[in-house]
Structure 1
Amino acid sequence: MQETADPARTRILNAAATLFAEHGFDGTSTARIARAAEVPKGLLFYYFATKPEILTALIDERLGAHTLDPAPLTVAGDPLQTLVNVADGVRRDREGSHVLREIIWHESHTRPEVLGALTRYRHALHDTIARALTASLPAPVNDDAVRAAAFAWAATITARPLEASDTIARLHASDTLRAIARLLVAGIQAPVRA
């Protein structure tokens, strides 16, 4: 998570995160954000010319995929453990901001700023997974297979529940993730038929 050294800007972003999660983007005024951040409204506009700029900064700076460095996640010769390490890194990032997740899921279909940030996050996550996988594989494999596995792994580890059940909890359980990772690794390493 990228943070600024400016405490007033950080308070504005923290207040916006809480208010956007509770009341939605459209239900939160800039005056309300300024009050919650305990800053004058003019200072809010000094940092962010518009409310969408606040949302963009919040998502871009706190979403986290850009902070996932593939090097420490990679285990040479062990692509399965590498995938599990990536999943653990994403889980840690997501646990760090329940509020941010609420904003993303609630606003991604209505706010272009969120959709854009989410798209950048997914691209960065796919790139991280593909780079970590490639570095972990004991022998070179088809780039298309690695990309497909990266897309599938990203979709798996970032899945959101569609109903009020424990389906996602089961999907994200350690043994289930390892089983899915095993399938992906086997698929990547399978001989390609002509």
Structure 2
Amino acid sequence: MHMPEPRRAGRRRRSAKVDGDARHLILDAAEELFAAQGFDATPTAAIATAAGVPKGLVFYYFPTKDSILSALMDERVPAHPIDDISAVVAPGDPATSLVNLDTALNLRAHHSSVLRVIMWREADTHPDVRRRLRRLRDQLLDVTARVLQASAPAPVRPGTVRACAAAWVSAMFAIASTDRLHALDGVPLPSADEVVNVAQVVAAGMTQLG
């Protein structure tokens, strides 16, 4: 059943542009509030207030608060972290290639707090978020393995490549999630030097294990 478009009494029917803007404002407000205080601690009314829209309009676009979180996962987590690895591969130099990959992915300083904070905070209690996080991890394992294989100075066994890719992704996830710990407890944010050091360790391990 098609629901009539919500509107305030005495106001003209909203244009498609205004509707689209309202939906975007709702998601922006939800992202900011979920990152700052968590999903469970954020009432829908607070999202409406922060977005500057009537509460009924929030429910028009998102029947439940969970559907807002799902929309953030769908629309603000990259479907494909990186399409072309050739731009990050430094032939014969896995460490530099990994640093280039980190820069291209930008998990640590991503513009969206969905990636920097919300995914890590809500994965424990929301199965949909947990699925998205696992999918992102699988995608990063695949792309990291391809980058390592393409940049290796000599042939490397597939098992070694996979193990090194897993070590790198685990380290990057740990570093990326530090943003949440920084907000909660003031844990220092990782520096670019730390990423370089991890890349060098992974590259050295791949070379030694062959």
Gaps of 5+ in 1: 1-5
Q: What SS does the corresponding residue of 1:96 show, helix, strand or coil?
A: coil
Q: What SS does the corresponding residue of 1:67 show, helix, strand or coil?
A: coil
Q: Distance in 1 between matches of 2:209 and 2:122?
A: 43
Identity of aligned residues (%): 45
Q: State how 1:1-194 maps to structure 2 within 5 Å.
A: 6-64=20-78, 66-69=80-83, 70-91=85-106, 94-98=109-113, 100-159=115-174, 160-161=177-178, 164-166=186-188, 169=190, 172-174=191-193, 176-190=194-208
Q: Please, what is the CA RMSD of the aligned residues? A: 2.8
The range that moved more, 151-160 or 133-142, is 133-142
Cα distance 1:157–1:100, how it changes in 2: closer, same or farther (>3 A)? closer
Q: CA deviation at 1:92?
A: 5.8
Cα distance 1:47–1:131, how it changes in 2: closer, same or farther (>3 A)? farther
Cα distance 1:100–1:67, how it changes in 2: closer, same or farther (>3 A)? closer
Cα distance 1:177–1:19, how it changes in 2: closer, same or farther (>3 A)? closer
Code of the residue aligned with 2:101 in structure 1: it is: V
- Asked if the contact 1:82–1:133 (Cα under 8 Å) also holds between the matched residues in 2, the reply is yes
TM-score normalised by structure 2 residue count: 0.72
Code of the residue aligned with 2:206 in structure 1: it is: I
- Asked if the contact 2:72–2:114 (Cα under 8 Å) also holds between the matched residues in 1, the reply is no
Q: Distance in 2 between matches of 1:142 and 1:108?
A: 33
TM-score normalised by structure 1 residue count: 0.77
**Larger Rg, first or second structure (1 or 2):** 2
Q: Distance in 1 between matches of 2:34 and 2:187?
A: 25
Count of residues in correspondence between the two structures: 184
Q: CA deviation at 1:62?
A: 1.9
The range that moved more, 53-62 or 182-191, is 182-191
